[in-house]
Amino acid sequence: MTTEKILAALDKPRKLYSILMVVNPSGSLEELQQKLLKMRDEGLVKFDIHKGRWYLPN
């Protein structure tokens, strides 16, 4: 599960499970969530707490 694959999967705002299905269907949600949280801290992605979706910042 690489950063590039995750960024490519965020062509539109998506929920955690749908990102996992695009990136790595046999992977774990916990691993993906930790990766997304790290990417959020770096400013690569954002999370909409009201809709529960991850997206790329403009």
Instruction: Enumerate the β-bridge partners of residue 53.
Output: 48
pLDDT band with cut points at 50, 70 and 90 for residue 34: very high
**The 3-state secondary structure of the chain, one letter per residue:** CCHHHHHHHCCCCECHHHHHHHHCCCCCHHHHHHHHHHHHHCCCCEEECCCCEEECCC
Q: State the pTM of this model.
A: 0.90
pLDDT band with cut points at 50, 70 and 90 for residue 58: confident
